Amino acid sequence: MTSASRGADAATAAASAPQPVLRVRELGVRHEGADADAPASATFDVRRGEVVLLLGPSGAGKSTLALALNGLIPHAVPATLTGSVHVDGLDTAMTPVAQLSTRVGMVFQDPDAQLVTGTLLDEVAFGPENLRIPVDEVLARGEDALRRVGLWDRRYDNPDLLSGGGRQRLAIACALAMGSPLLVLDEPTANLDPQGIEEVYAALAELVTAGDRAIVLVEHNLDAVVAITDRVVVLDHDGRTVADGTVDEVLRARAAELHEMGVWLPISTIAALRLRSAGWRLDPLPLDSDELRAALEAEDAPATVTPGAQPTEACSTAPSGRSYAREATASSEPLIRVRGLRTCRGRREILHGIDLDVAPGEFVAIVGANGAGKTTLLQSLAGVVPVPRGQVTVDDVDVGRTDLRTLSRRIGFVFQNPEHQFIAATVFDELAHGLRQQKLPHDVVRARALEVLRRFGLENKADVHPFLLSGGQKRRLSVGTALVAGAPVLALDEPTFGQDRARADELMHLLSTLSAAGTTILVVTHDMQLVTEHAHRTIVVGEGRIIADAATPEIFADDELLRSAGLRQPPLRRAFAGVTRHPELGGITRLADLPGAGATVVTP
């Protein structure tokens, strides 16, 4: 079923259903202590059976809006609300959250933060029990909800035993068990591996085909959701509704405008926009890999394109993986050398014999399923977890023997949650800490710290408490603290976690620049497109072992390997792999390699 026909279905449904499930009018929310409304003025409706995708740049107030939809704002969260939200005709400002909970089900970003009880069945029963529903019906609802997300067979398990994707499906089941006609999901797949994401969207697609639930989705990863979306609502920077319509009307017709605004689009759409600027027609604009491939197959290449010339020009900052890897291994001594590494946490051995060499200046991505041991591997290299002697050397220093202070000058480590590593009370002191440790003179410390602040766009935040920064700013600060001391190696654990794609992109470009200047970069991430865009080399980890270690393009050429490791092809590769009519496009995997990559649509 295509998005277009789904839109038409929804339109006919809308005509027959008089009252929308959700009616948001000029909604403005101001958090206590904030100086502006975010969102400032959101207006839209959701009707029964509809899937509405809510887009907007980071800080537009999407999460805040989601909290207002079931009355958590203003009842539970200190914030003032202007405008109105009506659910099934009830004004959320006047109706208790408990009453609204039977009409709006919520699924949040962090699956762990939604678990209350000890078994899956107790968990789905938790909501209905709060509503004093009789035991028989609680069980019936629980069974129905668990079956819908495919977890019924595991009903007596502890939710902690589920994978990230499984727990998020459980959260969806819990929302379903409340019996609400409207489901609101705020970035439900942000920390899942590609397989987990696939599972969650498969479960949602099931619901959509049943047609009895309306869904409001906030999601940065558009490639996964366009297939099930009927309508798209877009908020601008201030949180005003600037677009509200079917997928065709908004995503296809106004893609360039949205892209300009910093709203992310499906990777295939971004690619198509670039191709258009290189002279391709591509009309209608494709929204996923299949559509892009089909559109390319249906069209002749524009005359202006000189195949083969542009790609090499476009990616001058990051040499293509294959050639780079060869060059690197041939020319220099490894900077990081790992031999037979076995790392234990507690009494459990997590890594079972890892061999690895990293040359200076390499940009290495470490990928794998949730729980594969990526974090443990990265932490072993940096000496964050104790490693046996003689198994890891960085810059000729044995990590198992050296104290961390000496080591921290050689390798800068960025933890998954930046808040964990902040040790000072202001942003400036946070940056100055590493420099002061090197006993540098006062004015040098100041100059260098300010330089980093400027580079990361934090100069007006110098005196702010690090915890009060926004998520994106915290992440940039943590990267800043890792590199201010001038370490030749930078190790980052999921640097794009919880970030929108624009910020993720900004950060990765920074890392690429550092890499080009000679810094060795190691990154753990779940974002396969990002890996293809930036990493020279990719290491696939599975169950504590290295399953594959090669130049990035080679890894992604092996579909079987990816699937067995719980990974998936990045969308661009999926689109171009099957293109037969234009062989010059066949091998393209990175946006930067597209013809027209230098044109206006490139993100700043």
Partner 1 sequence: MSAAAVDPWASAAPDDRMLAGLNPLAKLVAPLPAIVLLVFARDLATPLWFIALAYAVVLVGVRLTARTALLMFAVLPVAGLVIGLSMGLWTDPSKVDGSTVVAQIGGWTLSGGALLLGLATGARLAAIVALALIAGLTTTGPDLVRAGVQQLRVPYRVGYTALAAFRFVPRFGHELDVIRQAHRVRGAHGGHGPFTALARWWGYLVPLLAGAIRHAERVALAMDARAFGAYSDRTERHVVPWRRRDTVFVIAFWLVSGGILVALFPWTF
Partner 2 sequence: MGKVTTAYLLTCAAIGVAGGIVLAAGWSLSLAMFVTMPFVSVAIAGLWVLPAVVALRLLQRPFAGLLVGLISGLVLAPFYTVSAVATTLFWSFFPELPFLATLYRRWATWLHYAGAVTIGIAYPILAAQSFDLWSMSPPLLVGFIALCAASCVGGTALGIVLADRLRAAGVARLARHRATV
Ligand X SMILES: Nc1ncnc2c1ncn2[C@@H]1O[C@H](COP(=O)(O)OP(=O)(O)OP(=O)(O)O)[C@@H](O)[C@H]1O
Contacts with partner 2 by CB under 8 A lie at 32-33, 74-78, 94-97, 425, 465, 467-468
Binders of partner 1 among residues 213 to 272 (CB under 8 A) are: none
Q: Which range, of 40-48, 63-71, 161-169, 459-467, touches Mg ion by CB under 5 A?
A: 63-71
Q: Which residue, among 596, 99, 74, 72, has the nearest Cα to 314 in the 3D structure?
A: 596
Structure tokens at 34: 């904030």
CB 120 within 8 A of CB 170: yes
Q: Which range, of 75-83, 265-273, 364-372, 453-461, touches partner 1 by CB under 8 A?
A: 75-83
Structure tokens at 410: 């050689």
Q: Give the nearest distance from C-beta 528 to Mg ion in angstroms.
A: 16
Residue type, 343: T
Q: Give the nearest distance from C-beta 188 to partner 2 in angstroms.
A: 21
Distance CA 397, CA 335 (A): 10
Question: Is residue 460 near ligand X by the rule CB under 6 A?
Answer: no
Q: Which range, of 416-424, 534-542, 554-562, 565-573, touches partner 1 by CB under 8 A?
A: 416-424
Residue 415 contact among Mg ion, ligand X, partner 1, none, beta carbon within 5 to 8 Å by kind:
partner 1
Q: Give the nearest distance from C-beta 78 to Mg ion in angstroms.
A: 18
Question: Is residue 129 near partner 1 by the rule CB under 8 A?
Answer: yes
**Which of residues 241, 277, 375, 478 is near Mg ion by CB under 5 A?**
375
Distance CA 240, CA 261 (A): 13
Strand pairing report for 545-551 and 537-542: antiparallel
Question: Is residue 152 near partner 1 by the rule CB under 8 A?
Answer: no
Question: Is residue 413 near partner 1 by the rule CB under 8 A?
Answer: yes
Q: Give the nearest distance from C-beta 418 to partner 1 in angstroms.
A: 9
CB 317 within 8 A of CB 512: yes
Angle at CA 453, nearest 5°, toward 449 and 456? 140
Question: Is residue 370 near Mg ion by the rule CB under 5 A?
Answer: no
Rg (the chain; Cα; Å): 25
Residue 74 contact among ligand X, partner 2, partner 1, none, beta carbon within 5 to 8 Å by kind:
partner 2
Output the 3-class SS for 547-604: EEEEEHHHHHHCHHHHHHCCCCCCHHHHHHHCCCCCHHHCCCCCHHHCCCCCCCCCCC
Q: Give the nearest distance from C-beta 400 to partner 1 in angstroms.
A: 15
Edge-to-edge strand list for the sheet holding 411-414:
411-414, 489-493, 520-524, 363-367, 537-542, 545-551
Where do runs of H (alpha helix) occur along 457-581?
471-484, 501-516, 528-534, 552-557, 559-564, 571-577
Place of tokens 């060499």: 357
Question: Is residue 134 near partner 1 by the rule CB under 8 A?
Answer: yes
Residue 465 contact among ligand X, partner 2, partner 1, none, beta carbon within 5 to 8 Å by kind:
partner 2
| Residue (72 or 411) nearer to ligand X, CB | 72
Question: Is residue 384 near partner 1 by the rule CB under 8 A?
Answer: yes
**Which of residues 115, 305, 387, 445 is near partner 1 by CB under 8 A?**
115
Quick one: angle between helices 135-148 and 194-210, nearest 10? 120
Q: Give the nearest distance from C-beta 474 to partner 2 in angstroms.
A: 12
Binders of ligand X among residues 238 to 297 (CB under 6 A) are: none
Place of tokens 């779940």: 526
Name residues whose C-beta falls within 8 Å of residue 467's C-beta, 6 or more positions apart in sequence.
419, 422, 474
Q: Which residue, among 70, 30, 73, has the nearest Cα to 180 in the 3D structure?
A: 70
Q: Which range, of 177-185, 342-350, 513-521, 581-589, touches ligand X by CB under 6 A?
A: 342-350
Distance CA 312, CA 318 (A): 10
Q: Give the nearest distance from C-beta 373 to Mg ion in angstroms.
A: 9
**Which of residues 51, 72, 508, 550 is near partner 1 by CB under 8 A?**
72
- Strand partners for 105: 183
Strand pairing report for 42-46 and 22-31: antiparallel
Residue 178 contact among partner 1, Mg ion, ligand X, none, beta carbon within 5 to 8 Å by kind:
partner 1
Q: Which range, of 43-51, 107-115, 198-206, 265-273, touches partner 1 by CB under 8 A?
A: 107-115
CB 183 within 8 A of CB 175: yes
Strand pairing report for 336-341 and 392-394: antiparallel
Name residues whose C-beta falls within 8 Å of residue 486's C-beta, 6 or more positions apart in sequence.
none
Question: Is residue 63 near Mg ion by the rule CB under 5 A?
Answer: yes
Name residues whose C-beta falls within 8 Å of residue 306's C-beta, 6 or more positions apart in sequence.
none
x-marked contacts with ligand X along 491-530 as a string, rule CB under 6 A: ---------x------------------------------
| Residue (115 or 484) nearer to ligand X, CB | 115
Residue 76 contact among Mg ion, ligand X, partner 2, none, beta carbon within 5 to 8 Å by kind:
partner 2
Question: Is residue 126 near partner 1 by the rule CB under 8 A?
Answer: yes
Distance CA 514, CA 496 (A): 17
Q: Which residue, among 319, 260, 269, has the nearest Cα to 593 in the 3D structure?
A: 319
Residue 95 contact among ligand X, Mg ion, partner 2, none, beta carbon within 5 to 8 Å by kind:
partner 2
| Residue (257 or 463) nearer to partner 2, CB | 463
| Distance separating the N- and C-terminal Cα atoms of the chain | 35
Question: Is residue 499 near Mg ion by the rule CB under 5 A?
Answer: no
Which residues of this protein are in contact with ligand X, per CB under 6 A? 31, 33-34, 38, 56, 58-64, 193, 345-346, 348, 350, 368, 370-376, 470-471, 500
Residues making contact with partner 1 (CB under 8 A): 67, 70, 72, 75-77, 96-99, 101-102, 104-106, 108, 110, 112-119, 122, 125-135, 138-139, 158, 174-175, 178, 346, 379, 382-385, 403-405, 408, 413, 415, 417, 419-423, 433-434, 437, 467, 481
Chain positions contacting Mg ion, by CB under 5 A: 63, 375
